[in-house]
């Protein structure tokens, strides 16, 4: 290989390493190797900061992405929805998530200028799931905020910028994943959607999940946790352990907006994301 090509590649490698180290620093995990010396899941510093594993982990999003389309998990039609009364009359009824041939456009056409719940009254526009439709990894949050309502895309405000850094710290690009919310319209005052509002809107998300068939879903915060898993406990008690959503692996973790309010939770979030990254690495 010509020397100038090698030099260019080394410069690019250094630049990428610096960028990723910066992301990790902003996540508060710059000393992760020292702090996790007794953690069997700890990743060596080189594995965190080098771009080499990253390139092997995720195919460039401009390509057909063999890594992103690599081995699909087996669906588990027998996987039951957890039985509990958290949602009462709004509890889920479908026990399994069958593979769907619907396109996202068909689902969005069905949603239309939706007025199915009261959140339609305060919104500027409906904010649909956005990202790579062949993604192995999906992130699900609560509902759009002011920036998302204005721009029509999920996670574009400050919390979204932090989410992008979290994704990049995992060695991926934002274009490699797909991101959505339980509710598609901005709740007034950014309040939490009610059980009824969430129960009315979430079937659209479930249809998208059935169409996309991600291998892992990261649910961020209590609203996403409760609406995918019908989990009674709060996120801080159940985060960090893989769960099942109708045959799809789910990792509960903190919502980026919460991390902006309490940065001390970034380290735990990073531990959760490392588990997701390692699982995806092992199943390529």
Interface contacts to ligand SF4, rule CB under 6 A: 111, 114-117, 119-120, 126, 183-185, 197, 200-201
Smallest distance, ligand SF4 to C-beta of residue 102, A: 16
Mutual orientation of helices 158-169 and 266-282 as an angle, nearest 10°?
Answer: 50
Bridge partners of 139?
179, 218
Smallest distance, ligand SF4 to C-beta of residue 52, A: 42
Torsion of CA 243, 83, 142, 96, to 10 degrees: 70
137-141 sheet: strands from edge to edge = 130-131, 178-181, 137-141, 216-220, 248-253, 243-245
Decide whether 117 or 159 has the Cβ nearer to ligand SF4: 117
Smallest distance, ligand SF4 to C-beta of residue 203, A: 9
What count of other Cβ atoms lies within 10 Å of the Cβ of residue 33? 17
Structure tokens at 138: 């999906």
Decide whether 54 or 222 has the Cβ nearer to ligand SF4: 222
Decide whether 171 or 187 has the Cβ nearer to ligand SF4: 187
Smallest distance, ligand SF4 to C-beta of residue 204, A: 7
Decide whether 57 or 116 has the Cβ nearer to ligand SF4: 116
Decide whether 117 or 219 has the Cβ nearer to ligand SF4: 117
CA atoms lying within 13 Å on the CB side of residue 202: 25
Smallest distance, ligand SF4 to C-beta of residue 28, A: 33
Smallest distance, ligand SF4 to C-beta of residue 127, A: 9
Decide whether 124 or 283 has the Cβ nearer to ligand SF4: 124
Rounded CA Rg of the chain: 19
In three-state secondary structure terms, 216 is strand
């Amino acid at each position: 290989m010509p020397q100038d090509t090698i030099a260019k590649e080394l410069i690019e490698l250094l630049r990428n390493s610096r960028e990723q180290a910066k992301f990790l620093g902003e996540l508060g995990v710059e000393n992760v190797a020292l702090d996790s010396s007794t953690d069997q899941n700890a990743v060596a510093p080189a594995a965190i900061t080098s771009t080499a594993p990253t390139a092997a982990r995720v195919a460039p999003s401009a390509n057909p992405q063999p890594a992103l389309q690599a081995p699909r998990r087996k669906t588990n039609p027998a996987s039951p929805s957890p039985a509990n009364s958290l949602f009462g009359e709004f509890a889920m009824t479908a026990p399994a998530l069958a593979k769907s041939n619907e396109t996202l456009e068909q689902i969005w056409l069905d949603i239309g200028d939706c007025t199915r719940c009261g959140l339609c009254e305060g919104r500027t526009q409906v904010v649909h799931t956005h990202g790579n439709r062949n993604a192995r990894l999906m992130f699900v949050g609560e509902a759009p905020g002011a920036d998302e309502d204005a721009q029509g895309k999920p996670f574009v405000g400050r919390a979204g910028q932090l989410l992008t850094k979290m994704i990049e710290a995992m060695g991926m690009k934002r274009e490699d994943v797909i991101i959505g919310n339980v509710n598609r319209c901005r709740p007034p005052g950014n309040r939490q959607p009610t059980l009824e509002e969430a129960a009315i809107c979430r079937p659209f998300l479930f249809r998208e999940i059935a169409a996309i068939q991600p291998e892992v879903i990261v649910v961020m915060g209590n609203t996403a946790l409760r609406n995918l898993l019908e989990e009674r406990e709060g996120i801080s008690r159940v985060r960090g352990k893989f769960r099942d959503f109708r045959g799809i692996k789910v990792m509960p973790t903190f919502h980026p907006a919460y991390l902006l309010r309490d940065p001390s939770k970034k380290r735990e979030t990073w531990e959760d994301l490392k588990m997701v990254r390692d699982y995806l690495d092992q199943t390529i």
